[in-house]
Amino acid sequence: MIMVTSNIYIFFFLLLLFPSLMVVSENGSILSYTHVYIKNDLGNNIPLTVHCKSKNDDLGAHHLKYQDEYKFQFKPSLFRNTLFFCGFTWDGILHWFDIYVETRDCPDYDYKSNYRWSIQKKFACMFNPTSHAYDYCLDYH
């Protein structure tokens, strides 16, 4: 009985330290994959080169024609420090953008499974499922 009780205390202690353990995704599994979609919305005949990285992963360069989409997936960190940044090149100019910042994109542990980004000439814009539009736009670095 003592062993069971101590295991319960350890479990609740871990939940206090890592509240993200309580996160349940849309499909019901804990800490499921997060998907990031990147769409070339630069305009007709403007190719986009996308090169995304994190501290631990280099996803390589991907070439997108107008309206093409690139997707990658990952499992967010228990420590809420997941960051993916991407270099976007078009017309010979490199633009940088943090495509996924866990504390920005999941405030209050509000995890979603899908993040859809439209790469436009002036901004990177995230799809808002409530408004059904790419209306959350941020500047490149």
DSSP structure class, residue 22: G
Q: Please state which architecture CATH assigns to domain 23-138.
A: Sandwich (2.60)
Which residue type, as a one-letter code, is found at position 103? T
Residues whose CB falls within 8 Å of the CB of residue 110, separated by 6 or more in sequence, listed in order: none
User: In whole angstroms, what is the distance from residue 87 CA to residue 65 CA?
Assistant: 16
- Please give the residue that has the higher pLDDT: either 26 or 67: 67
Q: pLDDT (tens digit, 9 = 90+) per residue, 8-64?
A: 666 555 555 555 444 444 443 446 899 999 999 999 999 999 999 999 999 999 999
Percent of the chain at pLDDT > 70 equals 74
**Domain extent listing, the chain:** 23-138
User: What pLDDT is attached to residue 23?
Assistant: 46
| 103 confidence band (pLDDT: 50, 70, 90) | confident
Helix (H, G, I), strand (E, B) or coil at 44: coil
- CA atoms of 26 and 22, how far apart (whole Å): 13
DSSP-derived 3-state class of residue 42: coil
- Its pTM stands at 0.78
